[in-house]
Structure 1
Amino acid sequence: MPKIDKIQAAKKTKARYHIHLEEEGRAEYSFSVSEDILIQEDLFKGKELTKEDIDRLRHSDELDKAYQRALNYLSYRMRSEKEVAVYLKEQEVPEEEISHMIEKLRRLDFINDQRFADAFVRTKRDQSKKGPNIIRQELKQKGVEENIMNKSLDQYTPEEQLDLAIELAEKKQRSYKKESTRQKEQKLVQFLVQKGFSHSVAAEALKEADIDNDEDEQQEAISGWGEKSWRKFESEAPYKRRQKIKQALYRRGFPGDLIDQWIDEKEMEEE
């Protein structure tokens, strides 16, 4: 029966030991174990090991290494239980062992989905400026349970949602300065919904936000879109051209009186 000939501390990895076995007068390296397994299994020079013992120790060490990788994975940032489980599966850890590891990590308080979700909501609200609907979707993707999500999202108050939506709308409006007032407002609402806010919060934010709608900006906007439409329909008969340009500008959200004024001035220029 093989027996331990030498236990040698690993040079590159702390708290790991190389086990050398002697069998039939020959000693050679057989496997490595962590310090925890070395102590738990009471391994010492001269101890005899069966083939089953060796296989079990190697399997235990593989699981221990996977567990240590999981701890390292958790050291970079907080993770949900599902994220850790997926990571362990990628490390080819058997399903039944994954459950045991998750339970151990939970028991030692290395993973806690409620704490994870609370921190996730705060980060996405304060740093990523996202609304609650997007945050809820992302928490679902990370496997967080519904009741935990609801509790975490309760900290994102309606007042905070509205304040952030107003802030985002006022900043984003610069992107739509070439649009009509109506088109700008529609795009801002759509933008806020895409950021994760409800339609009602987005609409309320537009009412309270300081949105620039001065006449000079509107005149510049209709001139830009009007010139594009004029070039497109320039070869049409005057009446038909006028109707098509009016339709195109109306679809862009410009009011009828402003459209007629622009077309009248353009036609006078062309005479």
Structure 2
Amino acid sequence: MPIITKISVAKRNKGRFHIYLDKGEGEEYAFTVSEDVLVKRQLIKGRKLTEKEIEAIREEDVLDKAFQKALNFLSYRMRSKKEVLQYLKDQEVQQEEASQLLDRLKDLNLLDDQMFAAAFVRTKKNTQKKGPLIIEQELYEKGISQRMIDKAMEEYPVEEQLNNAMNAASKKLSSYKSEAHRQKKQKLGQFLMQRGFTSSVVQQAVEESMKDNDDNLELEAIRKQGTKAVKKFSKLEGWEREQRIKQHLYQRGFSMEIIEEWLREQEEEE
């Protein structure tokens, strides 16, 4: 029966140990194990091992190495069960072994989809200021159940959603300063929808953000757009020129009232 003749520390990894056996033909290297397996299996010099025990130790060490990789994967940030499972699959860990590792991680409170989902929501709402619809979709893609998603979204009340939406709208509004009031509202709404906010929150955020968008700003915007329109239709004359300019400005969201006001201003300047 094989007997352990020497145990030496691996040079490149001090947490692993080389096991040497004598099977009746002299000492030879047999396998390498982690410290956990070494202690758990009580591998000491002079101990006899059956071939079945040797095979079991090797299999256990393979599983232990995969477990150490999973721990390292989890050390950077919290992960969902689906993420860890995919990682183990990429590491070519068999399905049955991966399931054992997931159970082990759960028992150690290192893998909890509900805790992960709640932390994920807090991070996304506080750092990236994303809307709830995008956050929910991202959680779903990470394998979180709808029940857990609903629970986790309690971390993101409507008041915070509205606050984030209004802050995003206020910053974005400056890039629409040359647009008509109607165009600003439409583009601002589309922007917030793309950020994942619900239609009710978007509507409130747009209305609040546009409160300061007074007639002076609208007149300033039409002056810029009107100047471009005059150049564009400079080859036309009279009634046709005026109608084309009106149509151009109306299509860009200006009301006929503000268009007529701008045209009167142009006539006075002439």
TM-score, normalised to structure 1's length?
0.89
CA–CA separation in structure 2 for the residues paired with 1:184 and 1:31: 70
Q: Is residue 201 from structure 1 mapped to residue 201 from structure 2 by the alignment? A: yes
On the 8 A contact 1:18/1:31 being kept in 2, the answer is: yes
Counterpart of 2:111, as a letter, is: I
Counterpart of 2:8, as a letter, is: Q
1:148 Cα deviation (Å)? Answer: 0.7
CA–CA separation in structure 2 for the residues paired with 1:22 and 1:242: 102
CA RMSD between the two structures: 2.3
Deviates more, 1:236-245 or 1:12-21: 236-245
Kindly report which structure 2 residues correspond to 1:152-163, keeping only aligned pairs within 5 A, or say none: 152-163=152-163
CA–CA separation in structure 1 for the residues paired with 2:184 and 2:117: 35
Partner residue, 2:121? 121
- Percent of matched pairs sharing the same residue: 50
1:23 Cα deviation (Å)? Answer: 4.1
Partner residue, 2:177? 177
Partner residue, 1:72? 72
Aligned length: 270
CA–CA separation in structure 1 for the residues paired with 2:210 and 2:218: 16
CA–CA separation in structure 1 for the residues paired with 2:248 and 2:53: 81
Q: Is residue 146 from structure 1 mapped to residue 146 from structure 2 by the alignment? A: yes
CA–CA separation in structure 2 for the residues paired with 1:201 and 1:14: 56
CA–CA separation in structure 2 for the residues paired with 1:140 and 1:112: 15
Counterpart of 1:3, as a letter, is: I
Partner residue, 1:95? 95
CA–CA separation in structure 2 for the residues paired with 1:63 and 1:199: 49
Distance 1:238 1:20, change over 3 A: farther
CA–CA separation in structure 1 for the residues paired with 2:52 and 2:108: 31
TM-score, normalised to structure 2's length?
0.89
Partner residue, 2:11? 11
On the 8 A contact 2:85/2:98 being kept in 1, the answer is: yes
Partner residue, 1:42? 42
Counterpart of 1:158, as a letter, is: V
CA–CA separation in structure 1 for the residues paired with 2:59 and 2:231: 76
CA–CA separation in structure 1 for the residues paired with 2:22 and 2:249: 90
1:54 Cα deviation (Å)? Answer: 3.5
Q: Deviations over 1:63-88 (max 9, x none)?
A: 11111111111111111111111111
Kindly report which structure 2 residues correspond to 1:238-257, keeping only aligned pairs within 5 A, or say none: 238-257=238-257
1:258 Cα deviation (Å)? Answer: 2.3
Q: Deviations over 1:66-122 (max 9, x none)?
A: 111111111111111111111111111001111111111111111111111111111
Partner residue, 1:137? 137
CA–CA separation in structure 2 for the residues paired with 1:126 and 1:260: 46
1:151 Cα deviation (Å)? Answer: 0.8
Counterpart of 1:117, as a letter, is: A
On the 8 A contact 1:6/1:20 being kept in 2, the answer is: yes
Q: Secondary structure at the match of 2:4?
A: strand
CA–CA separation in structure 2 for the residues paired with 1:245 and 1:54: 88
On the 8 A contact 1:225/1:249 being kept in 2, the answer is: yes
1:50 Cα deviation (Å)? Answer: 4.7
On the 8 A contact 2:185/2:210 being kept in 1, the answer is: no
Distance 1:39 1:245, change over 3 A: same
CA–CA separation in structure 2 for the residues paired with 1:2 and 1:13: 26
CA–CA separation in structure 1 for the residues paired with 2:234 and 2:52: 89
CA–CA separation in structure 1 for the residues paired with 2:83 and 2:26: 46
